[in-house]
Amino acid sequence: MKKELFEVFQGKKEWQIGKAIPVSKAFIHSDLTSKYQGLIGVIILAGGKGTRLGFNGPKGAFVFQGKTLFAHLFDKMKLYNVQVAVMTSDDNHKQTVEFFEKQNYFGLKKEAIDLFTQQTAPTLSKEGVWQDLSTPAGNGCMYSAFQKAGLIEKWQALGVEAINVIMIDNPLSNPCDTAALGLVHQGFDLVIKVVKKSSLDEKTGVLVEKDGKAYVKEYFELSQEERKSAFFSNTGMFSCSLDFIKKGADYRLPWHLVQKQNHYQFEKFIFDLYCLAKKWAVVEYRREEAFFPIKSLEDLLSK
């Protein structure tokens, strides 16, 4: 692994989308009429700690508006038939398991919730020297980690066909978005969830299209022309088929070099699999109803 990662550090293996057209058309979520009624699969990406929130524990245990971020999500599942998988990291897995036990699995049967751990990757100093430090290797590890935990086989046996993937730091996420899952049930293997950009300079990834395939470009990758023409911000949320998750588990996602304050770390991005979707749709949500990411105390103070 180190040889491959060092080539990324040296710029020999860069993941470049190239020139692409920002996506400008989408279904409106409130206009969707088909509702999925089967067993709902929910994958929650919760590998982070609450350090940037001034909290010593898993980010999902952080209290926002009177209840934890996990509770914000699980409270929305009470009226549905769900199977849940929570991706943790080496940094917070033990604490997360203990938290779920203490919360009595939020009223769900223990068998309805699985916790699995994402991959880690070595880090480099700013001088390019390997460090005795490994860090979580990005949310793109979800696909292979989900498979490694035996959850593809388990969910297939249970009859899970449609899945919502959400982030723990967005309390407005709807884990049981039956409208988006209805599109999956109709044959879309990927439904990408977006909101209108709040401003031309909003520092979020945007959804673009190239040769009929969907990609996400991060803010720093966009040209000035693309920033002006980009219409939608990527929320990180999507719905998909179980077959799409299986495809991701077998696909070798690219590594990205991420610069931190004192080192470089390597991550895989979950949206790099979007381009493999054979049939995909984009659904626009009202920001105030669906997207309120909480990554730091500054986020709370600025909103």
As a whole number of angstroms, the distance between CA 48 and CA 95 comes to 11
Per-residue pLDDT reduced to its tens digit, 224-271 = 777 778 889 999 999 999 999 999 999 999 999 988 888 999 999 999
Q: What's 2-302's CATH class? A: alpha beta
Chain position carrying tokens 């959850």: 151
As a whole number of angstroms, the distance between CA 265 and CA 120 comes to 10
- Write phi, then psi, for 144 (nearest 5 degrees): -70, -35
Q: What is the mean pLDDT of residues 2-8?
A: 85
As a whole number of angstroms, the distance between CA 275 and CA 15 comes to 13
Per-residue pLDDT reduced to its tens digit, 60-74 = 999 999 999 999 999
Whether the predicted model's global pTM rises above the 0.85 cut = yes
Chain position carrying tokens 């979580």: 136
Measured torsion, CA atoms of residues 93, 94, 97, 102, in degrees rounded to the nearest 10? -140
As a whole number of angstroms, the distance between CA 61 and CA 101 comes to 13
Query: So where are the chain's domains?
Result: 2-302
Cα distances (Å, whole numbers) of residue 134 to 12, 87, 156, 170: 22, 17, 33, 26
> Which residues, listed in sequence order, are joined to residue 196 by a DSSP beta bridge?
232
